[in-house]
């Protein structure tokens, strides 16, 4: 079934009419993108090894408001230029792409500063603190001939590709519903997860929201209930704090054409597989249709396979057990390859903005006790 035929079948031809942008940098074999990383905390321990191995990346500078963290990472990964403030970083050794790994509340401000400084941006999630801010960032990037992308990179996995292809081929029949969940007992290393602008939705739910919207298409409306289960938390950097952002969330999404999906996430979930999800071999995402169902095994940021059931008599079969080169921290390396070669990634900034609007709508739904319509969309189905 062609993409157009699939869109006609599910009734979303309009969404598919959006066009992917192209990388501004012309294909240039052997070109390496000069990368500056801001934020040298826990997430950088995953990003920096991956970036340092990429044939498309030259790590040129690091920045952190705690200079000792930038120094430690600089010594480990042989990055000579280290800065305590983004102003000094932007005025320092030239680079092409800013990789933003800072606290989520700082993403919008720092991403804007980087774009004004003439840099492309890869931002850890979320891209900004609200949809309007994120929209302004993308418009700013476009006006200056720059690119900006936002995590997560879950749509890059072979397991996502298998699920998307299965839906596109119509093997589940008429799709009706999907469910996803992700949670643990909450990070202890920083207060920002629990402060205003933090929360389980932009930290955890964002993965499932990106996966389900990527599979089922743009969301038309959202209803949600979000709560705080644990009102006080003890964290490494500030001691005991009051929790301001949701640590428990249930989100229902209407994808149109009768299709509904549900995401639950939170910081109060006992999980024997721990924060890293090692050994997780159970379904975390399921999609149901009139002729079959399928489940993602493991978390969508670290999947292990897909179980597909399309027979009344035969047991479900496991597919896509090879993760290939996919890891959750690969997003910055993937967009560096785009900038170096012109090869477009499946990750799309409009998708990141759409997920950000879903999160914002979920919080508005909780406050108003109402169904919240969405105004954004993204090119869908995503590029194969």
pLDDT at 28: 55
Model confidence at 139: pLDDT above 60 = yes
Model confidence at 26: pLDDT above 80 = no
Q: In which residue ranges of the chain is CATH 3.30.360.10 found?
A: 154-331+344-373
Model confidence at 69: pLDDT above 80 = yes
DSSP 327: -
pTM: 0.92
Mean pLDDT of the chain: 92
Distance CA(156)–CA(244), nearest Å, equals 33
* Topology at the third CATH level for domain 25-150: Rossmann fold (3.40.50)
Q: What is the mean pLDDT of residues 53-77?
A: 98
Q: How many CB atoms lie within 10 A of CB 135?
A: 18
pLDDT at 214: 98
Residue pair 123/347 in contact by the 8 Å Cβ criterion: no
Sign of the dihedral through C-alpha 203, 264, 284, 175: negative
Q: Which of 136, 85, 152, 91 is nearest to 118 (CA)?
A: 91
Q: How many CB atoms lie within 10 A of CB 35?
A: 30
Residue 14: band (very low, low, confident or very high) from pLDDT cuts 50, 70, 90 = very low
Cα 282 → chain centroid: 21
Distance CA(99)–CA(111), nearest Å, equals 9
Distance CA(73)–CA(62), nearest Å, equals 8
Three-state DSSP class for residue 149: strand
Q: In which residue ranges of the chain is CATH 3.40.50.720 found?
A: 25-150
Each residue's pLDDT tens digit, 266-321: 999 998 876 666 777 889 999 999 999 999 999 999 999 999 999 999 999 999 99
Model confidence at 65: pLDDT above 90 = yes
Give the contacts of 160 (CB within 8 A, at least 6 positions apart). Answer: 154, 211, 214, 215, 300, 303
Scanning the structure block, which residue is given the tokens 């599910």? 10
Q: Provide DSSP, 25-41.
A: SPP-TT--EEEEEE--S
Distance CA(137)–CA(75), nearest Å, equals 33
Residue pair 349/313 in contact by the 8 Å Cβ criterion: no
* Topology at the third CATH level for domain 154-331+344-373: Dihydrodipicolinate Reductase; domain 2 (3.30.360)
pLDDT at 15: 36
Residue 3: band (very low, low, confident or very high) from pLDDT cuts 50, 70, 90 = very low
Q: What is the mean pLDDT of residues 93-104?
A: 98
Q: Which of 174, 211, 381, 213 is nearest to 292 (CA)?
A: 174
Scanning the structure block, which residue is given the tokens 């009734």? 11
pLDDT at 280: 77
Distance CA(45)–CA(115), nearest Å, equals 25
R_g of the chain computed on alpha carbons: 20
Cα 346 → chain centroid: 12
Model confidence at 151: pLDDT above 80 = yes
């Amino acid at each position: 079934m062609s993409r157009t035929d699939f869109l006609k079948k599910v009734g979303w031809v309009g969404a598919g009419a959006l066009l992917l942008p192209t990388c501004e940098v012309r294909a240039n074999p052997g070109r390496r993108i000069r990368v500056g990383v801001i934020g040298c905390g826990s997430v950088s321990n995953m990003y920096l090894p991956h970036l340092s191995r990429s044939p498309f990346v030259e790590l040129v500078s690091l920045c952190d408001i705690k200079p000792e963290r930038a120094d430690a990472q600089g010594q480990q990964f042989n990055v000579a230029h280290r800065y305590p403030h983004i102003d000094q970083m932007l005025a320092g050794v030239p680079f092409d792409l800013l990789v933003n790994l800072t606290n989520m509340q700082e993403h919008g401000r720092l991403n804007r500063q980087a774009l004004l400084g003439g840099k492309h941006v890869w931002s850890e999630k979320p891209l900004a603190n609200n949809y309007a801010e994120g929209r302004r960032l993308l418009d700013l990037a476009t006006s200056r001939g720059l690119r900006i992308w936002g995590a997560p990179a879950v749509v890059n996995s072979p397991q996502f590709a298998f699920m998307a292809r299965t839906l596109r081929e119509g093997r589940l029949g008429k799709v009706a519903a999907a469910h996803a969940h992700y949670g643990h007992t909450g990070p202890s290393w920083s207060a920002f997860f629990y402060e205003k602008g933090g929360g389980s939705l932009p930290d955890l739910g964002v993965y499932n929201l990106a996966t389900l919207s990527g599979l089922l298409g743009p969301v038309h409306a959202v209803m949600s209930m979000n709560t705080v289960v644990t009102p006080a938390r003890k964290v490494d950097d500030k001691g005991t704090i009051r929790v301001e952002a949701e640590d428990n969330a249930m989100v229902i999404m209407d994808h149109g054409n009768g299709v509904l999906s549900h995401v639950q996430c939170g910081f109060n979930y006992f999980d024997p597989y721990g924060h890293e999800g090692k050994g997780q071999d159970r379904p975390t995402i399921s999609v149901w249709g009139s002729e079959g169902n399928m489940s993602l095994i493991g978390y969508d940021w670290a999947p292990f396979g897909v179980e597909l059931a399309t027979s009344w008599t035969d047991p479900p079969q496991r597919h896509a057990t090879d993760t290939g080169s996919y890891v959750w921290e690969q997003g910055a390396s993937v967009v560096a390859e785009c900038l170096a070669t012109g090869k477009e990634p499946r990750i799309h900034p409009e998708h990141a903005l759409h997920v950000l609007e879903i999160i914002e709508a979920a919080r508005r739904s909780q406050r108003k006790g109402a169904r919240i319509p969405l105004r954004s969309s993204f090119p869908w189905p995503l590029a194969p």
